Homo-oligomer: A and B are copies of this chain.
Amino acid sequence: MEEEEEEEEVKESIENLWQEVRDLSLGTTPHIDHLPTPPTPLHFLRHYITPNKPCLISSAATRHWPALSLWPSATYLRSTLSTTPVSLHLTPTGKADSLTPHPTSPSSLCFASAHVQTLPFGEALDMVLNSREGETVAYLQQQNDCFRGEYGALKGDVEEHISWASEALGCLPEAVNLWVGNHFSETSFHKDHYENIYVVISGEKRFLLLPPTDVHRMYIRDYPAANYQYHQDSGEFTLELEDPIRYVPWCSVDPCPSPKVKQREIDKFPLYFNGPKPFEVTVKAGEMLYLPSMWFHHVTQSPDETGLTIAINYWYDMPFDIKYAYFQFLQSIPYPPSKDPMLRKARNVESNSDGYTSNSGEESDITAFEENQEVRNGKDRKDN
């Protein structure tokens, strides 16, 4: 009885937190702030970075970027990048770094990463344009600072950094990444340990956003890692578990389940489906989203008339300060009550002896870069 009371108290405290952060700071509608012009560094720091609050900045911010007129023409990209080798992500469904039925025990799930292939840009772009769901979906992306690496020839078409963000944060971007895809590609709910400025160049991206306070609503669990292998001869995929087995903590919630499984999903993840609605924003060509560090985000996209969705994002080091310490604390509190050993395990993954590195040695490709940076940042901080 007393135990139940304690549990009830913790449940209430956590649910109050979801509401309070909205009442105080984020707002109680699914909308985020829209800024007509880029903010000053001070305004951006005070109203968005400090409170860890997203905002959308209108296309006035990118009016002078050559990319906006040049990139939507595939001709320009083809001639500029020509046969430059680039990283192409291949999946049968468009869902990479996401949960998918386990290859040998289909009643459970695994964490599936794309097959990554290096190809000359022209060929790779053809594969993106020829993507077919259920067969092969290709996505040009690599979250390892690829824009300043593979796509260096496009450097002059965008700003090297977002000046007001760099000034506010006191640093230059750690990574700049390019994304060229289409409506088949979808990014499942996850968070990054970066402050993120996300700029759409062509087409639209739709983000669902949940603040870090809502971590329990994501049902982060450990899933075995698997990789798609693409067999060029047959044009088919196999999904292979990593050996030795490696577990990846990942959000369990699919926010847009098909009607057939919807009720089952609601029953499995009631904290997500019955709690406050996620924030929603559609980022159009020329617009920028400030996606604050540690926010959970789910991304879908639609292409422009050429069939492509193109975006570039700037990752800045996040401040590891009292907010991060509070987040780690929140995540360590068992809710729903910790009878589930899987949950218990997942909960503890992010806290290690260093206190600020996450999932060392058991993280997915998507965050390998991020993770290295984080460890490095942690070291820098210690040296100060």
Chain A contacts to B: CB under 8 angstroms: 2-3, 6-7, 9-10, 12-14, 16-17, 19-21, 23-26, 41-43, 45-46, 49-53, 167-170, 211-213, 319-330, 332-334, 337-338, 351, 355-356, 381
Contacts and interface: CB of A to CB of B under 8 A. Distances in A.
Given A45-B42, A46-B45, A320 B3 contact: no
Given A42-B167, A46-B170, A49-B50, A329 B14 contact: yes
A25 B322 contact: yes
Contacts of A321: 21, 24-25, 50-53
5 contacts: A6-B7, A19-B355, A213-B322, A322-B323, A326-B326
Contacts of A168: 42, 46
A42 B166 CA distance: 12
Given A6-B3, A24-B356, A333-B13, A213 B325 contact: yes
A170 to B, nearest CB: 6
Given A6-B3, A24-B355, A51-B319, A325 B17 contact: yes
Contacts of A334: 6, 9
Interface of A is mostly: helix
Contacts of A17: 325-326, 328-329
A9 B338 contact: yes
Given A13-B332, A16-B328, A16-B351, 8 more contacts: A9-B338, A24-B321, A25-B321, A42-B42, A46-B319, A50-B319, A52-B321, A213-B326
